[in-house]
Amino acid sequence: MRGPGVIIVVACALFVAPARGSVEDWGSAAPPSMRAYRDDGNGRERPRRLALDGMTLSVAAGGTSDAPAEVAAYYATALGDARHGCGARFGDDERGGVAAIDYGEALDGDGVAARMGRVAATGDLGALGQLQAVWYERRPDGGTRYLNLWGALSLDKLLPPDGGDVAGGELDGVPRPTGGVRVLSAGERGALGRVVAYRVPGASAVAVRGDFLDELHARGWQSDDAFARFAALHERSGARLVRRGREIFVDVGRAGDDVSVVIIETERRG
């Protein structure tokens, strides 16, 4: 898991995360916003802040009684005007998304080329413009729930040029897998849940999982045996561990020739 694709994973996970108190909101410091569906601000929550690999993006979930196809068509038009470029649509009329780069102004070919030159020189995708994207899916009642995501990205932060760690740090009290390189650090600012992922080059998934769980146990984390039996029954290798009111889920698997280790910390329970 590396590069812009991780944005889809993290943003879609926020579909099920309700809006919390104003401490997570942008409030008056909000950057330029992406349009709500049909400009209906009442149908969308206030923007929240998503920390991703040392960057901060904005996300906001919304809903409408209109069908997904109508939401997709609206954003395909809204993100397909003269001030947007690099547009893409994926999925179908049940679930999918639309994404584009907002240049902030209408650009001709020379203007786009000049900005692309700055991106190549600096690794800062923000020099091209602001990412704007929407993910949508059908609700049981036939309407649509959707998630807007927008903000400036940096290639050097998503893909460090030296092949090293992305920014964002580790989870407190959770070790780094031996030989691992951090490829994802994400979470909603002001919320307690986070996800951190590592890539372990050329290793054995069985050995990495065993060593990592042993190290967690040595640091006081306790495995949930019932969860482990449930995961094994469904041919999954996930593990749930708890310590001092905290809860993490660990998933270890193959990623090409390497091993992927994903750790998700959920919010503390009462």
- Averages of pLDDT over runs of 10 residues in the chain (270 residues) are 48 45 40 84 90 89 96 95 88 92 89 88 82 93 95 83 89 95 86 87 95 97 94 86 94 92 77
Check residue 118 and give its pLDDT: 87
Nearest-CA neighbor of 149 among 99, 216, 193, 91?
99
Check residue 267 and give its pLDDT: 65
**pTM beyond 0.85, yes or no:** no
Check residue 10 and give its pLDDT: 52
> What are the residue ranges spanned by the domains of the chain?
5-158, 181-265
Check residue 261 and give its pLDDT: 95
